């Protein structure tokens, strides 16, 4: 691990002021420390933000405001999250081990880097590590890689479970930086790779996440977080589906759908959501939405299976949401 300076910030303003070229904010460190050990990240300065007063979960504007330093475990087991945003709870609990959830922060979860094999292997070219060096994944082993929103420079996927639920819930990210405070709709927070795959988010240098705001309670009854993976024990998703429905009898009034494991950011298709609204909550409707979503998939040599896997997962997830029988775990099993 390379040598680095260490600074402990007492306020958000101090953290922003301490930021400079080669600096990184650190809280739980569950991803950053691994990256440093593999020499994927070599920050010259770590700014410790764990003492900032950003770990609260508060009622806000009819919804909830989750502080950036609230741990994943704290969020998952908060009574208001359980009652009003069970989709978020189930997504978090489908993620890492209990030990990691106790350390990982909400803000850090949004900033996870990809789990691409080649990104972690510093002996191979990677445009995310070294822009312009090439993408070793293209033409390589692509089982875990993206089928949506790729570019000739990168086909990596976003790894978070929590973020897929936040995308479906249409959260807002509050940030603070050298130019002041601003709000970023969750759909605009993460980026597709395009020509700049090294940029995972639309944060500007020195900006720090302060909170994640949830709107009024969404989908407390008709939701699911379905995660398909190679093994049940804390693996990253091959395909995941966060689905939330508001029903008027047997008719879909509102639909929100986000996919994980398939793109550089949580993947939504608003046309498919609109297609569902006003239609009966039936397998035929759900299959039509799934077909619309996967029609734009562009697989690589060894991940074409994800197209059918995603199609089936979307239909299954929507059926579970409509029936009010979420995938993960009943309350008795998660306690």
Please state, in angstroms and rounded to a whole number, the distance separating the CA atoms of residues 17 and 37.
Answer: 27
Please state, in angstroms and rounded to a whole number, the distance separating the CA atoms of residues 4 and 156.
Answer: 28
pLDDT digits (tens, 9 = 90+) for 12-24: 999 999 999 999 9
Instruction: From first to last of the 335 residues of the chain, give the pLDDT tens digit.
Output: 789 999 999 999 999 999 999 999 999 999 999 999 999 999 999 999 999 999 999 999 999 999 999 999 999 999 999 999 999 999 999 988 899 999 999 999 999 999 999 999 999 999 999 999 999 999 999 999 999 999 999 999 999 999 999 999 999 999 999 999 999 999 999 999 999 999 999 999 999 999 999 999 989 999 999 999 998 777 899 999 999 999 999 999 999 999 999 999 999 999 999 999 999 999 999 999 999 999 999 999 999 999 999 999 999 999 999 999 998 653 333 33
DSSP state, 150?
A: -
Element (H, E) at 240: strand 239-248
pLDDT at residue 232 in the model: 79
pLDDT digits (tens, 9 = 90+) for 244-258: 999 999 999 999 999
| pTM beyond cutoff 0.85 | yes
pLDDT at residue 118 in the model: 98
The bridge status of strand 63-67 relative to strand 208-214 is antiparallel
């Amino acid at each position: 691990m390379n040598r680095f300076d260490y600074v402990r910030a007492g306020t958000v303003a101090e953290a922003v002021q301490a930021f400079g070229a080669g600096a990184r904010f650190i809280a739980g460190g569950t991803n950053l420390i691994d990256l440093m050990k593999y020499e994927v990240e070599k920050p010259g300065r770590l700014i410790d933000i764990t003492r900032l007063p950003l770990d609260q979960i508060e009622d806000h504007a009819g919804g909830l405001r989750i502080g950036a330093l609230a741990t994943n475990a704290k969020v998952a087991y908060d009574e208001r999250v359980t009652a009003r945003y069970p989709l978020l709870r189930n997504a978090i609990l489908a993620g890492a081990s209990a030990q990691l959830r106790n350390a990982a922060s909400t803000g850090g979860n949004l900033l996870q880097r990809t789990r691409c094999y080649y990104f972690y292997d510093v002996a191979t070219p990677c445009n995310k590590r070294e822009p312009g060096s090439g993408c070793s994944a293209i033409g390589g082993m692509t089982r875990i890689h993206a089928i949506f929103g790729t570019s000739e420079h990168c086909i990596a996927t976003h790894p978070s479970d929590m973020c897929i639920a936040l995308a479906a819930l249409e959260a807002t990210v509050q940030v603070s930086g050298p130019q002041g405070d601003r709000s970023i709709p969750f759909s605009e927070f993460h980026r597709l790779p395009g020509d700049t795959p090294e940029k995972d988010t639309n944060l500007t240098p020195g900006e720090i996440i302060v909170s994640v705001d949830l709107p009024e309670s969404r989908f407390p009854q008709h939701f699911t977080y379905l995660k398909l993976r190679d093994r049940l024990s804390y693996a990253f998703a091959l395909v995941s589906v966060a689905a939330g429905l508001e029903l008027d009898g047997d008719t879909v009034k509102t639909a929100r759908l986000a996919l994980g494991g398939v793109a550089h950011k949580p993947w939504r298709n608003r046309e498919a959501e609109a297609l569902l609204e006003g239609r009966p909550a039936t397998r035929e409707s759900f299959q039509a939405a799934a077909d619309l979503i996967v029609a734009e998939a562009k697989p690589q040599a060894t991940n074409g299976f994800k197209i059918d896997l995603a199609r089936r997962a979307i239909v299954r997830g929507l059926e579970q949401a409509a029936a009010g029988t979420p995938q993960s775990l009943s309350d008795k099993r998660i306690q």
